């Protein structure tokens, strides 16, 4: 087992929130701004809860929403007390659904959201602010949009530092290719922050490998079916020039494998991203070289928890440092050497998370910065 994964597993604790903001943002150990129930000025009572996301068919988003549901259950509610606002990959639907949810609940809302693409984040958070609700976002926003510029209603934004992990997957891919040949990249939605960063990671790695050519890079919109169609077109165009495939997420890798199987191509080196259970198993079976885990279950729970506790007045976002309002989540590379132990820890049994342990002591830097 690699030291990286071994250290991560050993440092993971029952209180996963202790690893949260201080560790991910690189700040030190910090105490709670105020204890629950001790002098908190509650801003709202029983806010309506929602998660806005792409779809639940994806293992990644299913894990995100399951984390949100677990947080809701920790409040003594049922998972049905959290509304799923499914945008189906449409930024317009994402905004419209959130506006409708705000109107239905007179703005008394706590929302967690992936805005679907970066430009959509601003109108989403501005709509929430105008209605008096509270929102935490993940993954997608423009670089000029910050929670502290919007106010307390925009509680926090969490993303993952994708360039370095994607670069590492590329280097693993290139080694399997014998440091020469042709690679294709199948990406996510073009205006999606993780899609941009994962392609950048590949390009960063290519600088050190002059004998590897990037034959093509096209968006597959995070979708298995689109990835299968795109990979089939790559095979038609480039044929045996393709000796390796860099995928922006696991769903894309599944489509690539379908296309290769249809052409009778076996043993093609492929790397992926997201750390879904199926992908981890494929790494164990040798079908994928590696994937990258971002703990979507935890991300889904903590994002909704932050919005909720800001809404009820447990803490005031504007009184927190900027590092508590924009931060990175943990990112872990999973290879064949690590996959079995990783699966036992995170797939066979879901760790128990304390959703109320804000900004606890850092466990150390098992994150990409």
333-346 residue pLDDT tens: 999 999 999 999 88
234 vs 153: CA distance, rounded Å: 45
Q: What does the pLDDT average to over 74-92?
A: 96
Do residues 353 and 17 touch, judged by C-beta distance below 8 A?
yes
Q: How far is CA 128 from CA 107, 158, 255, in A?
A: 7, 17, 36
> What class has domain 163-293?
alpha beta
**CA-wise closest residue to 125 among 81, 157, 83, 103:** 157
Q: How far is CA 322 from CA 107, 113, 135, 154, 327, in A?
A: 25, 19, 16, 12, 9
Token duo for residue 63 = 């894990």
* Better-predicted residue by pLDDT, 242 or 346: 242
Q: What is the pTM of this model?
A: 0.80
Just give the CATH number of 47-160+296-329.
3.40.50.2300
> One fold for both 47-160+296-329 and 163-293?
yes
> What are the tens digits of pLDDT across the range 183-234?
999 999 998 889 999 999 999 999 999 999 999 999 999 999 999 999 999 9
Is the pLDDT score of 16 beyond 70?
no
350 vs 333: CA distance, rounded Å: 18
**CA-wise closest residue to 139 among 228, 226, 246, 60:** 60
- What confidence score (pLDDT) does residue 57 get? 87
Burial of 364 from C-beta contacts in 10 A (0-12 / 13-18 / 19+): exposed
Is the pLDDT score of 364 beyond 90?
no
Query: With b meaning 16 or more CB within 10 Å and e meaning fewer, what string describes 141-155?
Result: beeebebeebebbbb
Residue 148's pLDDT band (boundaries 50, 70, 90)? very high
What are the strands of the beta sheet with 242-247, ordered from one edge? 212-219, 181-187, 242-247, 270-271, 290-293, 332-335
Is the pLDDT score of 43 beyond 70?
no
181 contact partners, CB below 8 Å, separation of at least 6: 211, 212, 213, 241, 243, 244
Question: Which of 8-17, 255-264, 323-332 ranks highest by mean pLDDT?
Answer: 255-264
Q: What does the pLDDT average to over 241-256?
A: 98
- What confidence score (pLDDT) does residue 10 get? 39
**Domain chopping of the chain, boundaries:** 47-160+296-329, 163-293
Is the pLDDT score of 365 beyond 60?
no
């Amino acid at each position: 087992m690699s030291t990286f994964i071994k250290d991560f597993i050993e440092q993971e604790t029952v209180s996963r929130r202790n690893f949260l903001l201080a560790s991910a943002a690189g700040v030190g150990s910090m105490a709670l701004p105020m204890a629950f129930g001790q002098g908190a000025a509650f801003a709202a009572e029983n806010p309506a809860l929602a998660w806005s996301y792409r779809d639940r068919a994806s293992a990644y988003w299913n894990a995100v929403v399951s984390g949100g549901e677990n947080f809701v259950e920790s409040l003594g509610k049922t998972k049905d007390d959290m509304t799923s606002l499914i945008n189906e990959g449409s930024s317009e639907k994402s905004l419209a659904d959130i506006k409708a949810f705000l109107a239905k609940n007179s703005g008394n809302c706590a929302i967690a959201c992936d805005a679907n693409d970066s430009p959509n984040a601003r109108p989403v958070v501005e709509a929430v602010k105008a209605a008096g609700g509270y929102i935490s976002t993940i993954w997608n926003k423009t670089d000029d949009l910050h929670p502290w510029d919007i106010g307390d209603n925009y509680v926090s934004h969490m993303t993952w530092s994708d360039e370095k992990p994607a670069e590492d997957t590329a280097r693993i891919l290139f080694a399997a290719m014998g440091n020469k040949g042709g690679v294709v990249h199948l990406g996510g939605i073009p205006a999606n922050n993780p899609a941009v960063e994962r392609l950048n990671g590949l390009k960063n790695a290519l600088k050190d490998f002059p004998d590897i050519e990037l034959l093509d890079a096209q968006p597959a919109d995070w979708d298995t079916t689109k990835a299968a169609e795109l990979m089939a077109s790559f095979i038609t165009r480039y044929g045996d020039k393709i000796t390796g495939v860099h995928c922006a997420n696991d769903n894309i890798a599944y489509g690539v494998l379908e296309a290769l199987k249809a052409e009778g191509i076996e043993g093609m080196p492929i790397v992926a991203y997201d750390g879904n259970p199926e992908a981890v198993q494929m790494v164990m079976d040798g079908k994928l070289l590696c994937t990258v885990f971002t703990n979507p279950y935890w991300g889904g729970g903590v994002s909704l928890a932050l919005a909720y506790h800001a809404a009820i007045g447990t803490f005031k976002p504007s009184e927190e440092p900027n590092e508590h309002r924009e931060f990175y989540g943990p990112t872990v590379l999973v290879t064949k050497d690590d996959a079995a132990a990783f699966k036992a820890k995170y797939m066979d049994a879901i760790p128990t998370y304390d959703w109320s342990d804000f900004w606890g002591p850092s466990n150390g830097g098992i994150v990409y910065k």
